[in-house]
Chains A and B, each alone.
Chain A
């Protein structure tokens, strides 16, 4: 089955700086890669996703890049703000699979 590794497990960034979280996956058939954000005590919520037919996707201060050859994808947050503090999860699945495999999460702390 799919295995997703996520690094780092914790990340502290000065407000206004950029944050990068990286994930690798094992199944070359995977073609859908979402990122979820979970604020303290809340439910995970989708913030951005990318499919294997594109290499990069942006949504305001958030971007995701995908390298299918190397089997890794990354989340980039620019101009970080205090409300970006949360746990972020990457995930992967292939189109024929009914389920997502999640990474172990990254706790991002934005330092004011």
Chain B
């Protein structure tokens, strides 16, 4: 039981390049989330999903797209990376949505030059 796994763990991009972060969970959780963590700003929600085939915008969705084609996977895409997207990205899952523990992945550190 691996829990929540993120790939890649580190990535350096040039401005304008695209990339996809993959989050996989093996706990059969319905809810999945993508957060970004920046110094002094805590964890801010980018997008989330309440089940397979669904996605919704969070607090800071601009510049990102997501897909949840399979229940266990939640993909975060950057179509045209910008330096402002340099951050640590955390995926999380939750069995019931609200009022329950979030299980986080180990994080993915993205640098955009």
Residues of A within 8 A of B (CB): 1, 6, 9, 31-32, 34, 36, 42-46, 49, 51, 89, 93-105
A6 to B42, CA, bound (A): 10
Are B33 and A99 in touch, CB under 8 angstroms?
A: yes
Interface 1/0 per residue, B26-69 and A, CB below 8 Å: 00000101010000111111001010000010110000000000
Q: A105 — which chain B residues lie within 8 A by C-beta?
A: 40, 42
Name the CB-closest residue of B to A106.
B42
Known pairs A43-B90, A98-B56; list 8 more (Cβ under 8 Å).
Answer: A31-B99, A43-B107, A44-B104, A49-B101, A96-B98, A101-B59, A102-B42, A102-B44
Are A95 and B90 in touch, CB under 8 angstroms?
A: no
Residues of B within 8 A of A (CB): 31, 33, 35, 40-45, 48, 50, 56, 58-59, 90, 97-99, 101-102, 104-107
A31 to B100, CA, bound (A): 12
Are A98 and B99 in touch, CB under 8 angstroms?
A: no
Q: A101 — which chain B residues lie within 8 A by C-beta?
A: 45, 59
Q: Specify which of A9, A43, A103 is in contact with B106 (CB 8 Å cutoff).
A: A43
Are B42 and A104 in touch, CB under 8 angstroms?
A: yes
Q: Specify which of A31, A43, A93, A98 is in contact with B104 (CB 8 Å cutoff).
A: A43
